[in-house]
Amino acid sequence: MVDLVDIALFSLVAIVFIPRIFGTNKRTTNTSTIPIMINRRGGAMIPRRRVPIAPPPDRHDEQQPSTPTSFYEAKPEDIITVKDILSKVRNIPPELVDMILDRAEYWACSATVIDYSNHPQHKITILGARPAQDQFLLRTEPLGLTKWTMSNQDLWRVESAPKRLKKEYEESDLKELIDGSFSTLEHPFRKVVFDIVSCDQGWSSDNVNHGQYTGSWTWFDAGLERFDQENECVPECPDNLGSEDLKGTTSIPTCAIRPIWPVLENHHDDDAITRYHHELLPNEDHLIQRNKHAIGQFQNHHVEWSWDDDVDPDSLAARTLGEAGRGRGTGNGEFLRNLKLGDMITVWGRARFPGWTNNIQRVEVKVYWAF
């Protein structure tokens, strides 16, 4: 007798690959000379099976983005169809359906890209020891909210206002902005993939560390943002949407975004005025990637964080992460396991001390979640 799980997996494989064989995906190309943050919702190549959390110490020069095993792009509506077939046609419990799809890594994806290759200098530059040595680069769309749409492009492309979060939205309210049902898994956000093309100034007086990640003072951090339910748009706010009840609207205003990290601090001991607090040295829990020390050619860094990573920040394995330019605290999976529905991941570019320059050509973030 054919096992029920085998039937379910056969149905999944058929649905995943038949469109790939008999159909094509339409793609659009942005040819503007102005760098634009591009969000692609719900279209994702099926990810490759798990790769090592960090490259071997002697192969740092060979870091390249992983090649997906398939070019089929699974959208949330595709996943909804598969779940309906498995649960209704095959009478498989929803919890088991979620386990089957997760085992197959049939996940939804939100991809965000900022590309400066069409910029006049083909890059942007962050200078250390300058007022703009900490720069916001991009944010992902609110995780899992497939029905959310941004209300203001200008606010979306810049760092959120330095206002403290007063009240988070309840998950039950946010689920109003989801197509279909959300995953029953305890940690639905499974993986985040960063692809960064960048380099430093190409020289330094520290000759010992040239070509290594040690002593590099240009890097990238992952931040976090959430919506504030108590947000109120002021009359001059670009959103100008008012503070409507979520249940009566199809979206949440962009001006309701609040920073969780980087944290905020009081400006000149005035509780009424807050500003971002940017740490002088890299934060090991948020450090995505350093640039190679004194290497002026653009490097392509590919970094993956997974919900089931389990590297102790104080272990020898974490030391390997540090040798590869990553934060020692980013290998324990906590960042992914702590993500909530509606969260937004941000990327910040940094440079420290005179002479250090962070040259950035392209940043892409893909977040995979069990739908």
166-186 pLDDT, tens digit per residue, is 999 999 999 999 987 788 888
**Could you give the CA distance from residue 346 to residue 83 in angstroms, rounded to a whole number?**
31
Q: What does R_g of the chain's alpha carbons equal in angstroms?
A: 22
The helix or strand, by DSSP H or E, that contains position 78, with its residue range, turns out to be helix 76-84
Q: Which of 104-113, 210-219, 309-318 has the lowest mean pLDDT?
A: 104-113
Q: Decide: 50 and 308 in contact? Cβ < 8 Å.
A: no
Write out the two tokens for 103.
Answer: 């085992």
pTM (two decimals): 0.83
Q: Does residue 46 carry a pLDDT above 50?
A: no
Confidence of residue 11 (pLDDT cuts 50, 70, 90): low
Q: Omega of the bond prior to 262 within 30 degrees of 0, cis?
A: yes
Distance CA 167, CA 207 (A): 50
pLDDT greater than 60 at residue 108 = yes
d(CA 148, CA 130): 37
Average pLDDT value over all residues in the chain: 83
Q: 72 versus 47: which is more confidently predicted?
A: 72
- Amino acid letter at 242? G
Asked whether the beta carbons of 74 and 107 are under 8 A apart, the reply is: yes
From its phi and psi, is residue 180 left (phi > 0), alpha (psi between -120 and 50) or beta?
A: left
261: helix, strand or coil: strand
pLDDT band of 89, cuts 50, 70, 90: confident
What is the sign, positive or negative, of the torsion defined by CA atoms of 36, 40, 44, 50?
Answer: positive
Pick from 69, 23, 32: which is nearest to 50 by CA? 69
Q: Counting Cβ atoms within 10 Å, is residue 236 exposed (0-12), middle (13-18) or buried (19+)?
A: exposed
Q: pLDDT confidence of 47, banded at 50, 70, 90?
A: very low
In tens, the pLDDT along 256-303 reads: 999 999 999 997 766 778 999 999 999 999 999 999 999 999 999 999
Per-residue pLDDT band for 247 (boundaries 50, 70, 90) equals very low
